[in-house]
Amino acid sequence: MTAKAVLKASARPGVGKGAARAARRAGKVPGVIYGDKKPPLPISLDFSELSKRIYAGHFLTTLLDLELDGTKHQVIPRGFQLDPLKDMPTHVDFQRVAPGAKLRVAIPMKFINAEESPGIKRGGTLNIVRHTVEFICPVEKIPEFITADLTGLEIGKSLHISAVKLPEGITPVIRDRDFTVATIVSSSGYLEEQALAKQKAEEAALAAAAAAAAPGAEGAEGAAPAAAPAEGAAAPAAGAAAPAADAKAADKGKK
């Protein structure tokens, strides 16, 4: 669970664009606290301190004690705006949270044991489908990240949310389907290797088929000479007709 941090704020007099610009000119970042069935409170925060919190990571999943004029408000950041050119915070929103409440929070996914994935060992690549997943979490048990184990994952296989071990009391917002968190996809080298293996297998199959057909073909050719005597048998018959013609000629001579 993310440790509860303390952030100081001061009340911001007035609301609207004019008051927000005045706060920025004073080196502050305007913000607001809302929720828990209480009126919103316009606030301002130190620019440097807020920037450090944002860029340290996990800002939107960190439970904070926001000190405002001596009073602590238990809050969670719900969003912030950055200057599109200077990439600096220009506004931040906080939601009040009551003890024991449950919140909808987008939590980062952390993937471990890549070295235990057969697919990655064989040259596959981890394709992260969801870098963050929304969960319903007890306010006191919001984790920094959700751990997903890649052990045993093969190329072409997917890791679904049902295979991810979740901390007690935390459930995904999406409950009607077992959605995909990550997959192991084929690299170009692996695809070339598979294509080469397929080509070799096909060539081996063709060679085996040709070798199996060769003995039958030789037997068929060997049977061809057996037909020769049939042709030779016709020749003696023709030769037998010749003596008969000579005999008739001899008879005519005697007459």
In degrees, to the nearest 5, what angle opens at C-alpha 17 toward C-alphas 14 and 20? Answer: 65
- Residue 8: partners with Cβ closer than 8 Å, 6 or more residues away: 45, 46, 49, 66, 67
Element containing residue 219 per DSSP (H, E): helix 188-222
Concatenating the DSSP letter of every residue in 145-207 gives: -EEEE-TTPPTT-EEEGGGSPPPTT-EES--SS--EEEEEE--HHHHHHHHHHHHHHHHHHHH
Q: CA 248 to CA 243: how far, in whole Å?
A: 9
Confidence of residue 13 (pLDDT cuts 50, 70, 90): confident
Whats the size of the chain, residue-wise?
A: 255
Task: Kindly state the tokens that stand for 58.
Answer: 């996990």
Please, which pLDDT band fits residue 22 given cuts at 50, 70 and 90? confident
State yes or no: pLDDT of 82 exceeds 70. Answer: yes
pTM score, whole prediction: 0.64
pLDDT tens profile 215-245: 654 544 444 444 444 444 444 444 444 444 4
Instruction: List domains and CATH numbers for the chain.
Output: 5-98 (2.40.240.10), 104-189 (2.170.120.20)
Say how far apart CA 126 and CA 186 lie, in whole Å.
9
Q: What is the mean pLDDT of residues 151-170?
A: 95
Position 180 pLDDT exceeds 60 = yes
Residue in 45, 38, 37 with CA at minimum distance from that of residue 67: 45
Q: What is the mean pLDDT of residues 107-135?
A: 95
Whole-number Å distance between alpha carbons of 250 and 153: 104
pLDDT in tens, 48-71: 999 999 999 889 999 999 999 888
